[in-house]
Structures are given as C-alpha cells and as structure tokens.
Amino acid sequence: IVRQCRLTRISLREATVYQDVPRGHLKTRDHLRHARDAVYKSPSSTTYDASQDPARPPLLAHPMAITEYKYLTAEQRAHFLQHGWVRIEHGVPPENVARFLENVWVRLGYDPDDKSTWQKEKIHMPRHREVPTPEFMPKAWGAICELLGGEDRIDRTLFESCGDSLIVNLGKDEYRDLDIHPKDLGNWHIDGDWFTHFLDSGDQALELLVLYNDIAPKAGATWIAPDGLKNIVDFLYEHREGVNEMPQDPDGSRSICSIQTCQDFVELTGKAGDVILMHPFMPHSASKNQLRIPRFITNPPVTLKEPLNLNRENPADYVRSDSSIDIFHYAADVSLESLVEQKILDTLGVSQLEEWHITGERRRFVPRTRAGKDALIREEIDRLKAHAMRTGGTVDSMHINGPVPYAVVVG
C-alpha cells in the first residue's frame, strides 16, 4: 500500500508499491517510481532522500504513524477532512432498523394511512428501548472509533446505547410547491444543549444521523453547511471562556453559525440503515418535508473521556491536509490520532495549539428539552398499554413504571 509520498523520507517498501496509486495521479506515481529506482541504484541504501529530489511535491513537516483502518476507507477519511462529514452505508443492520420502527405509529397515536391524523409536523420522541451502540450499529461504531482515534477514548458511561428516540418529520401540505433555499430554513445550529461549549469540548465528539427510512430530496432530510464549520471553529477559538447560551438570529438560527455567509449546502438524503458521521461543529438544520413521506432519524451523541487534544507533544500524530488531500489520502496506511481534532487544526491553519487554553469552567446540565420529553413518555406509555390490551401483546419500555431519570451527570 502506498504511504503518502509527501514525506521527508520514503522507505524501500513504500517506494516499491507505486503501482497502487490510483489512475489520475500520474505525478505522484512517477515520483514514487523515481524513489524506487533511486533505492535500487544504491544497494547500500534502504531509504530515498526526498529532500534531494528537485521534482518532489511540497513536503509535510512530519512523517505519519501507520496503523490499520478496518472500517473507513482512504477516500472516506479524505472526505471527512475536506468536508467534515462521511456516510457509512448500511451502518445499522436492517433488523435493528425494523425493531425501532415496529411500534412507532402506536406511540405517535397517528394513522400512517391518514394524513389528517398527523397533528404535529415534527416530533422528538422519547426513548423506551436501547441497545449498546457497538451491538446496534457495529459497522458505524467501527468508523466512529476510527474518526475519534480509538475506542479507548470514548466514554461508555454516558450515552453508551442507541435508543428508539426517533425524530419524526411529517411535513405539511402547504410546503409542497414552495421553493425553499437552505439559507431560509432557520434553526441552523450545532448540537449540545447539555454542556458548556469550548473549542476542545469532548462532550459531543461527533454528530450522528441514523436513517430509519429511505429519505429522498424534499422529504425532510437534514441540511448541513460544510463551509460554516469554520465559523464555529473561529468563534470558539476566540471565546475561551466557553459558551452556554448561543444568541439567535431573527430566523431562529444560532448566530454562531453565521449561516448567511455560507455557500456550500448539502441535503443528507440516503437509505434506511445509513449512518452519517459529522464533525461536532457542523452547522445543520431540519428541512421542510414537502413530499410528506414520513421521515425517521435519531442522532445519538458520542462522548469522550477527556477533552479533545489540540496540542499533542508530537505534531506527527496529526496529518496536515491541504488542496492535495485527494492525492495523499489514497494511501490506506495514513494514520490519524483523531480526524475530528485534525479538522479543527486544519480549519485554523495550524499544526497544533500551543498557547490556547480555556478560561471558563467545564459544566454539564440537564437539557432544556427534557421536560417536553417526560410529558411525551406518559402519553406514549398510555398508548402502548391500550394497544397491548387490544391485541393481547406486551409493552416493552424502560418507563413502564414511570419516567426514568435523565442520565447525564450534572455539575
């Protein structure tokens, strides 16, 4: 496998596998061929000194470590560093998707075949059942761990499971013929209403979207603004004291997103079972379900044991990305301690943050949306019990004897 050629030195093994560079990258391939030939012409040498090659591309300041990636391809890693998100197709097995959808209409109290019963446009449903995340979506979990630098960094005592807390978007008939630009959606935001935000916060280490049905364009997909990620990074870099309350623009969007300055918008359509992994600083917004095809997603958080490390002692633990990322990240051995951390550094244009420190207190608190979900729990339990009485079935819910207290440690 080709290790990225933009190193100060290229080993014998790496220089002899130039043929694995994809088509369309002839300069890179020729450069590696030159490296291989140089090694072979000097029997006493096992390395090629790229610094002496006048045809070499610009060099990275530090070599990269090498490890094995089992879930994320080189193209997916490059896509995340360029755009701040990546799609894991079939990230959730079909049987797990079906399990969390099986009683959704009973819980809602709506008739799926009668839109006149759909009283609310959007519903954030509470959780009744849960499955440990590695078991519920093993393929996506592997990718999550690789993006964050390893499973050992993830705090499994918080949000360790995926639940059936579906986010439902049923739309309205009045939206059908509207021409809606993403900038006009309103409610652009980043997640995390339960902790103080800092540039290095690990509380919401990734933004996840789990798709429970096929989502077509104009059918309620989430929109993201990849170029708006820089707005978040710059704001949090300047506000070392941390951010609890995020001011809102007149349209309801968080001012931190500066969404009206953005030009790059992506509609996250997809297939049931897809899992979309986004940088925690990715601005996103719900859309109008113009087709009124019921849309079901969840967005379980992932939390780290410690804050992000943006000042590693050895910057070689990072890989610098630039306009040539499409070339050098085809090297499947490229290792990153954390692509989430690297994306922040790349956005700031630095290799590490030596002098940056927070000045505020790290805090967690009960989210403002909790009270509304507690009320829905009681309503859904009543519907599930009534359905079980009619059908002779059972009720599978952690809340069967009353709402279970919220799990987040506050302080």
Number of domains in the chain: 2
Full DSSP string of 219-284: BSPEEE-GGGHHHHHHHHHH-TT-BSSPPB-TTS-BGGG-GGG----EEE-B-TT-EEEE-TT--E
**Same-domain pairing of 34 and 178:** no
Q: Residue 352: inside a domain, yes or no? A: no
**Same-domain pairing of 254 and 294:** yes
d(CA 275, CA 209): 6
d(CA 34, CA 50): 10
**Same-domain pairing of 93 and 40:** no
d(CA 229, CA 343): 10
Q: Residue 372: inside a domain, yes or no? A: no
Q: Residue 207: inside a domain, yes or no? A: yes
Q: What is the pLDDT of residues 322-346, one digit of tens each?
A: 433 443 343 333 445 799 999 999 9
**Same-domain pairing of 235 and 175:** yes
User: What's the CATH code of the domain at 89?
Assistant: 2.60.120.330
Q: Residue 138: inside a domain, yes or no? A: yes
Those residues of the chain that have pLDDT short of 70 are 1-67, 314-336, 369-372, 405-411
| Element of type H or E holding 12 | helix 12-15
pLDDT score of 69: 84
**Cβ atoms < 10 Å from Cβ of 237:** 18
**Same-domain pairing of 84 and 156:** yes
pLDDT score of 30: 41
**Same-domain pairing of 198 and 95:** yes
**Same-domain pairing of 165 and 23:** no
**Cβ atoms < 10 Å from Cβ of 5:** 26
Q: What is the pLDDT of residues 179-237, one digit of tens each?
A: 999 999 988 999 998 899 999 999 999 999 999 999 999 999 999 999 999 999 999 99
pLDDT score of 94: 98
In terms of Cα–Cα distance, which of 185, 187, 190 is closest to 290?
185
pLDDT score of 160: 84
Q: Residue 288: inside a domain, yes or no? A: yes
d(CA 64, CA 317): 7
Q: Residue 384: inside a domain, yes or no? A: no
What are the backbone dihedrals phi and psi of residue 269, each rounded to the nearest 5 degrees, phi first?
Answer: -75, 170
pLDDT score of 370: 66
Q: Residue 363: inside a domain, yes or no? A: no
Q: Residue 131: inside a domain, yes or no? A: yes
pLDDT score of 323: 38
The residue segments making up the domain with residue 27 are 1-59
**Same-domain pairing of 105 and 131:** yes
Decide if 46 contacts 39 (C-beta within 8 A).
yes
